[in-house]
Amino acid sequence: MSVSHGMPSRGLSSAETSGGFGRMFPQLPPRRATGLEMALTFGAPGGLMDGGDTGDSQLDPELPAGFTYFGQFIDHDLTLDVMSRLGDHTDPSAITDFRTPRLELDNLYGAGPVVSRHLYDGSPEGKLALTPSGVDLARTPAGVPFIGDPRNDENLILSQFQVAMIKFHNRVVDKLVVGEITDAFGQPLPPKPEPEPPTQQPGVPLDQLLDVENYYDTVFAAARRLVQWHYQWIIVHEYLPLIADAKITRDVEENGPRFFQPGKTPFIPVEFAVAAFRFGHPTVRTSYRVNEDFAAPIFPDDPNAPANPRMDLRGGMTVLPEHAVDWRFFFDVSRTSEPQTAKRIEATLNTQLLNLPVSAVPGARQGALAQPVASLAVRNLLRSETLGLPSGQDVARAIGEIPLTDEELGTTGPVYLWYYVLKEAEVLNRGRNLGPVGSRIVTEVLIGLLDADPSSYRSVFPRWRPTLAETPGRFEIADLLYVAGVVG
**pLDDT tens-digit map of 403-437:** 999 999 999 999 999 999 999 999 999 999 999 99
Length of the chain: 488
Cα distances (Å, whole numbers) of residue 293 to 321, 326, 333, 342: 11, 10, 19, 20
- Alpha carbons 391 and 112: distance in angstroms, whole number: 40
- The alpha carbon of residue 177 and the mean position of all alpha carbons in its chain are separated, in whole angstroms, by 29
Per the CB < 8 A criterion, the answer to whether 432 and 440 are in contact is no
In this predicted model, what pLDDT tens digit does every residue of 15-42 receive, in sequence order? 455 689 999 999 999 999 999 999 999 9
Whole-model pTM: value is 0.93
State the CB neighbour count (10 A cutoff) for residue 302.
10
- Alpha carbons 375 and 356: distance in angstroms, whole number: 6
SS3 56: helix
Amino acid at residue number 278: R
Per the CB < 8 A criterion, the answer to whether 96 and 18 are in contact is yes
Per the CB < 8 A criterion, the answer to whether 67 and 342 are in contact is yes
Q: Write down the H helix ranges in 44-178.
A: 66-78, 106-109, 156-177
- Alpha carbons 196 and 209: distance in angstroms, whole number: 7
SS3 163: helix
SS3 436: helix
Q: Which residues of 110-144 are buried (b: 16+ CB within 10 A; e: fewer)?
A: bbbbeebeebbeeeebbbbbbeeeebbbbbeeeee
- How far the first Cα of the chain sits from its last, in Å, is 37
Per the CB < 8 A criterion, the answer to whether 338 and 330 are in contact is no
pLDDT in tens, the chain (488 residues): 334 444 444 544 434 556 899 999 999 999 999 999 999 999 999 999 999 999 999 999 999 999 999 999 999 999 988 777 777 777 888 888 778 899 999 999 999 999 999 999 999 999 999 999 999 999 999 999 999 999 999 999 999 999 999 999 999 999 999 999 999 999 999 888 877 666 666 656 666 656 778 899 999 999 999 999 999 999 999 999 999 999 999 999 999 999 999 988 899 999 999 999 999 999 999 999 999 999 999 998 887 888 889 999 999 999 999 999 999 999 999 889 999 999 999 999 999 999 988 777 766 666 556 678 889 999 999 999 999 999 999 999 999 999 999 999 999 999 999 999 999 999 999 999 999 999 999 999 999 999 999 999 999 999 999 999 989 899 999 999 999 999 98
Cα distances (Å, whole numbers) of residue 246 to 167, 277, 278, 436, 445: 32, 17, 19, 10, 16
- Alpha carbons 123 and 26: distance in angstroms, whole number: 47
Dihedral sign (CA 468, 469, 471, 475): negative
Looking at residue 402, the DSSP 8-state letter turns out to be P
